[in-house]
Each structure stands twice: as C-alpha cells, then as structure tokens.
Amino acid sequence: MKIAVAGTGYVGLVTGVCLASKGHGVTCVDVDEQKVEVMKQGVSPIYEPGLSELMKESMDHLTFTTDYESAYKDADVIFIGVGTPEKVDGSANLAFVYQVAKQIAASVQKDCVVVIKSTVPIGTNDKIESYIHDKQKHNVSVYVASNPEFLSQGTAVKDTLHASRIVIGADEEKPAEILKKVYQDFDAPKLVVGRRSAEMIKYASNDFLALKISYVNEIANLCETVGADVEEVTMGMGYDSRIGDRFLNAGIGYGGSCFPKDTKALSWLASFNDNEIRTIKAAIEVNDSQKFKLVKKARKYYDDFLFLNIAILGCTFKPGTDDLREAPSLVNVPLLLEDGAYLRIWDPVGQDNFKKQIQNKNIQYFDTIEEAIDGADLCLIFTEWDDVVKFDITKYEELMKTPIVLDGRNCYPLSAFEGTKTTYCSIGRKTVNDR
C-alpha cells in the first residue's frame, strides 16, 4: 500500500519506519530540509533504541522528502503524526495538524484515508474532515480516521511492532477496512470504534497511567513519614490483578512528551465543557510538587548550596531517550544554580540537548559517572540510566568529598549501602546511614 506520513518526530518517524518494515511503500514528509537529507542517508535524527537499525533495513521501502504535494497526491493512506504541543492555558495546539490538513486538501488527487496519529482533543477528527472537504481542490473521496499511538519513548519500535492493541477510530466501514489492511501483518488486537471514542481512549489511557504514578508517589511520601517501605507496599499491591505491578515505581514524577501535556489537555477540555476531572487535576498538582522532592531532601543536609559541588546523574525524563521535555532536571538545575551551587552533570545521551536549554558557567559536563561525582558534596540522581543502576556504589564513598546520595528513582537496594559511610536517601524508603 502507498502510504505518506506527515512529520518525522517520535510518532511520525517510528510509524513510517515500522510500516515500511512490513513492506508498505512509505514516504515521510518533513519541512526541515537538513533533517530530510540526514534521513535519506538512513540515519535517524532522534535517539530511539532500535530505530536506526530498522530504518537501515527498510530503506528500500522508505522515501524522505519536503515535497508534500508529490507525497500526498496519490497516496492510499496519509498519516498525520505532527506535534500537538501544549498552549499556555493547557489546551492542545493544533496548528501543525491543520497545516498538514490544508496541504492534503490542496494535493490529493485520488480517494484516500487521512489518519490522525497525533494526540488530539475529542472531536478533532470531525473538524479535520470538514476542513479538508471544504478546502479540497479535486473531486475525490477523503475519509478521516483516528489511530492513536501508544508508544513510549525508549521502547517506541517495540511498542509499535508489538502493540498491546491497535485502535482504529472510524465512523464508516471503508476507512476501517483500509486500516485493517494496513495493519494486517501486525500481531496485535485490532479494535474498531467510533472516532471520538478512539480520541478519548488515548487521553483516558495516558491520564490513567499518570494518575497511577502520582498516587504511588503520594503513598511513597506517606511511607517515609510512617516508616513503611514503598517497594514492599507496591509489591503487595502488584499481586492484585485488578491493580497490576506496572507504573508503581515511586520517584520524582513523570515527564516527557505525553503525560504532562495530555493530563493538562484533558483537564482543560473538561473545564471548557463545564466539567471537572478532579482526579486529573490532583495528579498534575502532585507531579509538579514531586519534581522538587530531592532538593527538599537536600535542605536537611545543607542550609544552602552556596559553593557546593553537586553531581547530577541524568538529565532526561527517563532512560533510553534524549528527550528533556518536562524532565525534573530542567526545574531543579536552575534552583541549584540560583542558590550558588557548582554542578557536575553526567548523562549518556541527553547532555547536548541540555546544553541548548540551560547555559551557565557554573555547569561542567562529564563523560563518566566517576568524573561527575569526584569531589562532590552531594549527588542527585534524576534518571535511572542502566549505567547508574549498575554503578559500583563503593565509588560514592571513595570519590565524593561528602558521600550523600539522594536517589529520585530508587536505583539501588537499601542493603547495598549498609556497612558503608555513604548516606543514601531515596523515595518512600528509610534513609541508610543518615546524618
């Protein structure tokens, strides 16, 4: 099948490459000429495990271009996978989606299905369909369907090729059947629902996971107060099949391109329609506060951070990605700098992006964890990179000036620090070797 994909970010590029790997002829469209030239060489412009390899394997079925007219005019299916960033009021910005819809309306010369892969407010598919029908230049049938993505950064390729489910939102039989053919070689349940239901499934799913994370973080905070261990608590909870054991890891909050944006968007949409989802509002508030948990803990050991050398392990919002969107590091680093600290930062893939966002003469970057913690008065762990999890914890005591490790991701078992001189303070658990 001849497929065009608008946008080559996480959603668009992963979708295009995975569809090409199944034998479809895929043309990926982007406005950035430099980015397109890089992709033509078989090089992925984003860091995503497994994507570059699959991209190289599928190049016989992949084309990259800035020429949207040639890509859209005779495509059987056009996926829209552009960004829907958050507006100041929390609502979703649909400008990029409408821009693509305008291009499609001007270009299509044969019957086709336009598939909105981007996360959009409920009712957007209806509006895009009306917009395209009003603006289209050629007398062809254009159907609009919803096909929300459920990929996670760091596991996006696996999440697409081996999806938990493929949701097809269609109000007519023809677009639903065409999308079934697109996905016929994907081993995943195919669920056909109405377009508005499909749009809501995406928001409801993401926001439920955000709720779960914020809930367990509040439980973790209470565990610290009453002397319980959150990992023992969540282990007991996870055996209940109604709850499950995923997304029960206590920490310093969620980040990334989905959960923060989607919780705010659904809350805004409810409010706009004279409704209120109080649980979602609470999840947002808890998450905003949880991001500062490590700095609050650090105040116990230092009245201020003036002239302290503080090691930061991890910049990205999660391991396996170079994405910094809504990462706790972005709000904590400025606080520490404002208080006069000298920061020693390590991250295996996120440093270049971090440098673009925060520039300060009191920040140094290092290639190894050993270098970052050398001579440090304090160490804050923001990302549970595998290098951190597998790090030889005896080196904290050996290399740090004052071995105080504040772990926002519970990377280590408490027993690892027993018998050492390192103060280890994590989330929802007792502090080992407290001072």
Catalytic residues: 258
E strand or H helix at 118:
none
Would you say 312 and 350 are in contact if contact means Cβ atoms under 8 Å apart? no
Q: Which of 390, 371, 380 has the alpha carbon at shortest distance from 425?
A: 380
Torsion of CA 208, 407, 433, 338, to 10 degrees: -120
E strands, 57-140, in order: 62-65, 77-80, 112-116
Separation in Å, CA 138 to CA 4, 110, 125: 18, 8, 20
Single-letter amino acid, residue 209: L
Are residues 79 and 175 in contact, defined by beta-carbon separation less than 8 angstroms? no
At position 417, the amino acid (one-letter code) is F
Cα 252 to chain center, whole Å? Answer: 15
CA 208 to chain centre: 15
Question: What is d(CA 430, CA 413) in angstroms, rounded to the nearest whole number?
Answer: 11
Give the C-alpha distances (Å, rounded to integers) separating 260 from 9, 217, 283, 361: 18, 15, 10, 30
Report how far residue 424's alpha carbon sits from residue 404's, in angstroms, rounded to the nearest whole number. 6
